[in-house]
Amino acid sequence: MNREYTIRKSTEDDIDLILTMFDHSRSVMRRDGNHSQWVGYPTRDDVAEDVRRGVSHLIGSEGGERGAEPMPIGTFALVPGEEPTYAHIDHGRWIDTRTPYSTLHRLAALPGTRGIAQAAFRYAKAQCNYLRVDTHASNRPMHHILANEGFVYSGIIYMSDGGPRDAYEWWRWDGVPADLKEYMETAILPRYDLFDPAHRRDHARRVMARAMAMSPTPAAYTAAAMHDLGLAEGREGHHLASGRIIRQDSALRRWFSAEEIEAIAQAAEDHRASASTAPRSPLGCIVAEADRDVEPLSIVRRTVEYGLAHHPALDREGHWRRTLEHLHEKYDHGGYIKLWLPDSPNAAPLAELRDLIHDLPRLRALFETLLNESAYGASQTH
């Protein structure tokens, strides 16, 4: 952002202005095709309650005459404590269920403004170690902003009226040096943008978050961030290529000893689900478990996406057979995936996935939905 912003608590005198901001943001949603978010909401009573609780904020734009009061141009609510609608989550799970969190709600702005969301998130990140956010599936601009802000998709929650929302999490991870974070964000994670859809930056971020939930250390953060870099050389043997890339990255010497770098490299080498032996270190077990994204919807989606990307000649039935074969080979009882930690956080979702694999009508319905949502599915309808 080039412009400087100020943040202050809202007062009762600001309520009418905030409602005007909501009206404008609602009109932008409708213009962008999002017709089901913010219907009859937020109300004046919602804003008044936010002001009363001290959670409503105004974003001001500095400028104009020296010493002039910043002009309010945006608003948001930063609400500490548990959000009731987050108690139940479908098609995923909260990665962190122990750390107290705050939720950023009701972000809006006046016409002609830019950078409001970034200003709100910058403020919230400075105030909170752990944030949760939800947004409508049709709110494409917000999904883009959340990805740029480093949020991790977690699943689907439901509003009090039953409406579904996509839920996200973010952590500050104070135990990781700031310059190490900057290096990973600018030099490492962008490399994932060139990989197949199942292994792009959002996948790396989820692995990082799950690893940090188990071991909040710079080594776990780094090993998770770099574990799939070898995909740049192809999928086969990518784990070994990742280890080599880590060993050759001289920048890591700023934060780790030679022994620590070797442990990080070995963790990347040992992360593959098809490995027949246990990882060589506790760090390797953590990264391997963090890479086990066994949430049923995510697994089936990734399987379909991989098939579409790597087997474009298959017809619909061919993709269905390939999906079945892969799910049985990897995730079914006797499959090659293994859990390496006692009380693994992956045990419950793996059991749920196995139930889905054996419920063919439900699995086929999910497969058809995912295929129809893809570019392949769209091409079959024209």
- Whether residue 66 is predicted with pLDDT greater than 80 in this model: the reply is no
Find, among 252, 261, 298, 299, the residue nearest to 281 by Cα.
261
Q: Is 293 exposed, middle or buried (0-12, 13-18, 19+ CB in 10 A)?
A: middle
Give 203-257 pLDDT, tens digit per residue: 999 999 999 999 999 999 999 999 999 999 998 999 999 999 999 999 999 999 9
CA dist 51 and 11 (Å) reads: 6
Confidence of residue 274 (pLDDT cuts 50, 70, 90): confident
Confidence of residue 94 (pLDDT cuts 50, 70, 90): very high
> Mean pLDDT, to the nearest integer, of 141-151?
93
- Whether residue 382 is predicted with pLDDT greater than 50 in this model: the reply is no
- This prediction's pTM: 0.82
> Mean pLDDT, to the nearest integer, of 192-204?
92
DSSP helix/strand/coil, 65: coil
> Mean pLDDT, to the nearest integer, of 67-90?
90
- Whether residue 381 is predicted with pLDDT greater than 70 in this model: the reply is no
Query: For residue 305, what are the contacts with CB-CB under 8 A and spacing of at least 6?
Result: 196, 197, 198, 374
CA dist 243 and 230 (Å) reads: 8
Find, among 207, 272, 261, 275, the residue nearest to 235 by Cα.
272
> Mean pLDDT, to the nearest integer, of 31-54?
91
Query: For residue 109, what are the contacts with CB-CB under 8 A and spacing of at least 6?
Result: 21, 24, 25, 59, 73, 74, 75, 116
Cβ contact 157:165 at 8 Å: yes
DSSP helix/strand/coil, 152: strand
Give pLDDT, residue 1: 44
- Whether residue 68 is predicted with pLDDT greater than 70 in this model: the reply is no
Report the percent of the chain where pLDDT is more than 70. Answer: 96
Please compute, for residue 203, the number of CA atoms within 13 A of its CA located in the half-sphere on the CB side. 23
- Whether residue 275 is predicted with pLDDT greater than 90 in this model: the reply is no
Confidence of residue 379 (pLDDT cuts 50, 70, 90): low
> Mean pLDDT, to the nearest integer, of 275-287?
91
Give 104-133 pLDDT, tens digit per residue: 999 999 998 888 999 999 999 999 999 999
> Mean pLDDT, to the nearest integer, of 93-104?
94
Give pLDDT, residue 67: 54
The position carrying tokens 């904020």 is 57
The superfamily CATH assigns to domain 5-171 is Gcn5-related N-acetyltransferase (GNAT) (3.40.630.30)
Query: For residue 350, what are the contacts with CB-CB under 8 A and spacing of at least 6?
Result: 292, 294, 331, 337, 339
- Whether residue 53 is predicted with pLDDT greater than 70 in this model: the reply is yes
Give pLDDT, residue 269: 97
Kindly provide the residue ranges of all beta strands, DSSP E only, lying in the chain, ordered along the sequence: 5-9, 56-61, 71-80, 102-109, 130-135, 152-158, 164-171
Residue 63's identity, in one-letter code, is G
The position carrying tokens 């996406």 is 305
More confident call, 129 vs 61? 129
The verdict on whether omega for the bond into residue 361 sits within 30 degrees of 0, i.e. cis, is no
CA dist 309 and 313 (Å) reads: 10
Confidence of residue 295 (pLDDT cuts 50, 70, 90): confident
> Mean pLDDT, to the nearest integer, of 70-93?
93
DSSP helix/strand/coil, 368: helix
DSSP for residue 232: G
All structural domains of the chain with their residue ranges: 5-171, 178-277, 296-372
> Mean pLDDT, to the nearest integer, of 13-27?
95
Cβ contact 74:58 at 8 Å: yes
Give pLDDT, residue 218: 98
User: Could you count the other beta carbons within 10 Å of the beta carbon of residue 153?
Assistant: 18
> Mean pLDDT, to the nearest integer, of 51-57?
97
CA distance to 73, 78, 92, 97, per residue, from 126 (Å)? 20, 12, 27, 21
Mean pLDDT of all residues belonging to the chain:
92
Query: For residue 225, what are the contacts with CB-CB under 8 A and spacing of at least 6?
Result: 184, 188, 189, 204, 207, 208
Give pLDDT, residue 324: 96
